[in-house]
Chains A and B, each alone.
Chain A
């Protein structure tokens, strides 16, 4: 049996789970809780308890007690979790300023899953096949992205963009998903920011942030990527590094300092934080001819919301677009349903990821919105894949668009 050194550190969380099962089944109208685990719900009738948190905690108790070894089979179950952290939210639901839930201090399910993934990797049961490819691509000098694309391709979008600098206070980190899959959104972003008078620096030498490695527990390469990127940002003179990707945002702002054991020498912002500053200072000028009334609902990316507590700023951005009425889905903010792409699920279990997204799209339609928007390219990609599967009837009811493109369409 492996040393289990990482999950042993999480013993407080594992042994404090008393198994109430709210992470699988809780519906509590009074607090806006309508189920929790997107994977278990997508499994539908096949939703054995191993697919949600309590079942995995029971398994981990057996692992810690020496009754059950780590295995490839366990990895196959564990990597079907999107690490959306909704189980932590429901677990902590009774915590407030008047009545404290002490377990909220030591039960953080994400940390448990992260520790388990690290141990599975160290024991040789992970990464799973597809994840192994992604890590290899991320580490290859000619790629440095998990999509297996040539590194040069990541910067092709820059050919159509002007006014970007090589160095400066404000550095944009483009990540991998947007430049390789959603170039138009990036071009729109630069258009908006340039119109707002921002001077932005970007480098063709940025590497993948390492998010996929961190999410699947394969940290061996993350450190090298992190050091490279931090050195790069320093050389560029960055005071602020911003990104339009929720996954990169979490990795830069949360994982990097944790891995470094200290603060970064620059501030990390998400694009919505940059946008709101421009909007508040009236630096985004909307086209007065484009103010038709539309209802927009906002999907909270897990890596922005539950992982980073960034719920309100994206909403403020949406609400400031002329003609937009922001309406909420039944499950929003900390209760928001995951899109299904995170935790390595999209790459290893793409159909599961799409099934989860379909539920979110249907929820958006139920809200009465004309447009479903979000601020994460990974969510956009997965929701779009599901959207295509759902077909014409759904497309007639709702449109799916990145928050950046939504703004760009109004200027």
Chain B
């Protein structure tokens, strides 16, 4: 009955969306890429630059196969993913720990906020030469650099998340007989969780870009190295394949890992954390 009513009221696209929810999601996400590819193709047809500088979109398919044949593409990608994952674990841990300390202590808040803001301004690329001198051209340097990137959004997310948890929630735990630890465990950390996860999403988005750059400068293998070596072979199509893969990998990580995680917490938290 209800379905019959909606189907007469809804427009044709809305009906399609109601019938094929997952297909619609894919179309919505992939759709905007079509005009981008079209523009690219038009630029190629207009010959704004020679094909060796700007190959056609379709040529990326053979470029991908040739790259996959010549290099251990899967291995390179896994290495990059591993570096980002390790950095995310470190950045998340450090960001939450320090954020929890700063977000729950007025003294630490006033004394540490300045230096942390300062360190964020210096930036991971500014540290990279020092990391190379201290640690060498290795995984540790790359992971440290990416972790540095991820740390800050997680830290700020944690602090702002903690500061926005309603005080009555902490008070309610205290009047039930809880101590500071219970307030932290039952109220503050779960209350800050949506902001922490949003911080992690933002941080990993930045981190994904940092890892490519750090690999170009430091590593012997990985997606960034692949792209940088392609440049020395003058294979623009391989560089483009690397760019496409990097973007796709990030989108997949975000949409299939981080976004569901965020949606899951927010769903349990209700539309609003603060109850009216």
**A and B form one complex:** no
